[in-house]
Amino acid sequence: MRDNPFFSPPAVPSLEADDAVAPPAMVPPGVSRVPSAGVATPTQLHFARSGVITPEMAYVAAVEGCDPALVRSEVAAGRAIIPANIHHLRLQPMVIGKAFCCKINANIGNSALRSDRGVELEKLHTAVHHGSDTVMDLSTGADIHAIRQGIIDHSPVPIGTVPIYEALELVPKVEDLTIDHYLEVLERQAAQGVDYFTIHAGVLAEHVPLTTHRITGIVSRGGAIMAQWMTHHQEQNPLYTHFDEILEVCARHDASISLGDGLRPGCLADASDAAQFAELDTLGELTLRCWHREVQVMIEGPGHVPFDQIAMNVQRQQEVCREAPFYVLGPLVTDVAPGYDHITSCIGATMAGFAGAAMLCYVTPKEHLGLPDLEDVKQGVIAYRIAAHAADVALHRPGAREWDDALSRARFAFDWEEQFRLAMDPQTARAFHDASLPAEGYKSAKFCSMCGPKFCSMRITQDVRRIAGAPLISPALPSEQAHAPAQTPPVNGRA
């Protein structure tokens, strides 16, 4: 599975390559990114329904440690997606669905106030290096097309976008936007290799008045844009009325759709209201239309939700959208900790993952405050890897607990190097230890600077066992032996 140190994930291409020279292809052996000749709908869903196990399905089955037939059946049922645009040549396929390990996404991208292609590529590298399963480019500033091209060229993980952002670059004002502008951008991005699109087709004109009571109104950028357009024109959402045309573009390129939650709550007081659930009902309808056209689809979810409402929100989405994968932002469980919302949200994300969410969208410490930098990206990814792994452990997913048990045994044995190696963030674990005990001799010491040599409870426990004649190190449990690696596991994390 992806977050287990017994599996070595792919390396991200070097960011030092000349921009004029494409980095080495990252396609796994045997995985073709070119559609089969004569296939009008070269989507993973089409092949799965036809009984075909594609190279992508076989690859993700190897990563997940499961039977390829399970991957095919889950994709065919719409309970899982493999976001894999046929033009994303360096893609390492992955699967999103509740039958598999919980995934995480990292958002990067420039803004109108800060735009630097090199910085965004560094953010990509940071996100993938620390274990993000997908990355979304949410750029809204200058050079959107060029930045996105660089990200796709360098990314081994699926890339998502919100096409409405670039579409707005084609017109002076929101109300000048037409469906032709949108479809032009969608086709261009699909041909570039974008693996999934957030599309705010579920925000309908009749939903907008339901938000007037809210404290924070409409907090989704895409949702607010569509609300402004509909209010000005007094017409229905063109992304809804022209959804079949959107599906045609996505089907040609096997670009998955992530149905956007344009009316997600932006604070606890607005959670689980009529506007949110009215849009969710529309997303359930659009899910069926995606499946009818054999386009892969997942559903985006809230937002800011009180802890006691999270499981209900996940269950309701699963019922309304017939178990299509749920992709949640957070959710944040309190609104009073700006600067720490990677923590307030990963608490909610853990519960969402346990309740059945298939992918968790990270939140960084800069949420509500500013554009994330490299350190913010790292902190967000690590927080959400913790949340996803905690959900996997709680759901007894194969291989999840073995990682924890391996580190715990290394900790009790005072095998400091093995502890660092198995840590989710080895560099930070080592730095924290060495800050107070930097000498190399302390790497074999049976204590740390917290308790010192006299009060270390684990060292005392070993003394007690020695006196009692018991084994110093507890033998592995049968469940651990069953999943133990055949050889020393490789270093955890992305290269």
Please provide the distance, in angstroms rounded to a whole number, between the alpha carbons at the two ends of the chain.
17
Average pLDDT over residues 337-364: 98
Q: Flag whether pLDDT at 24 surpasses 80.
A: no
pLDDT per residue over 305-329, tens digit each?
999 999 999 999 999 999 999 999 9
The pLDDT of residue 5: 53
Query: Beta strands of 38-156 (E only): which ranges?
Result: 80-81, 96-97, 103-108, 134-137
Tell how strand 96-97 and strand 80-81 pair up. Answer: antiparallel
Longest dimension (CA), the chain: 83
Average pLDDT over residues 53-74: 97
The band of 383, judged by pLDDT with boundaries at 50, 70 and 90, is very high
Backbone phi, psi, residue 328, to 5°:
-110, 145
The pLDDT of residue 473: 74
Which residue has better confidence, 20 or 77? 77
Average pLDDT over residues 411-437: 95
The pLDDT of residue 471: 85
Q: Which helix (H) or strand (E) holds 327?
A: strand 326-329
In this prediction, what percent of the chain has a pLDDT beyond 70?
Answer: 88
Q: Which residue has the tokens 């929101």?
A: 174
pLDDT per residue over 89-148, tens digit each?
999 999 999 999 999 999 999 887 776 888 999 999 999 999 999 999 999 888 889 999
Q: Flag whether pLDDT at 403 surpasses 60.
A: yes
CA nearest 130: which of 105, 98, 150, 151?
105
pLDDT per residue over 259-315, tens digit each?
999 999 999 999 999 999 999 999 999 999 999 999 999 999 999 999 999 999 999
The pLDDT of residue 417: 95
Which residue has better confidence, 181 or 490? 181
What does 303-323 look like in DSSP terms, one character per residue? SB--GGGHHHHHHHHHHHTTT
The pLDDT of residue 7: 41
Q: Flag whether pLDDT at 351 surpasses 50.
A: yes
Which residue has better confidence, 31 or 456? 456
Three-point CA angle 227, 327, 81, nearest 5°:
115
Q: Flag whether pLDDT at 19 surpasses 70.
A: no
Distance (Å) of CA 61 to CA 1, 71, 82, 376, 398: 9, 6, 11, 32, 13
Long-range contacts of 112-115 (CB under 8 A, 24+ apart): 112/140, 112/141, 112/142, 113/141, 113/371, 114/141, 114/371, 115/139, 115/141, 115/142, 115/143, 115/147
What is d(CA 240, CA 207) in angstroms, rounded to the nearest whole number?
A: 13
The pLDDT of residue 40: 78
Average pLDDT over residues 356-368: 97
pLDDT per residue over 451-488, tens digit each?
898 999 999 899 999 999 888 777 765 554 444 443 33
The pLDDT of residue 141: 82
What is d(CA 491, CA 149) in angstroms, rounded to the nearest whole number?
A: 30
Q: Flag whether pLDDT at 26 surpasses 70.
A: no
Residue 480 pairs in a beta bridge with none
The band of 47, judged by pLDDT with boundaries at 50, 70 and 90, is very high
pLDDT per residue over 155-190, tens digit each?
999 999 999 999 999 999 999 999 999 999 999 999
Residue 300 pairs in a beta bridge with 327
Indicate the range of 24-28, 36-40, 201-205 predicted with least confidence.
24-28
CA nearest 105: which of 27, 191, 33, 196?
196
The pLDDT of residue 20: 34
The band of 22, judged by pLDDT with boundaries at 50, 70 and 90, is very low
Helices 117-129 and 144-154 pack at an angle, to 10 degrees, of: 30
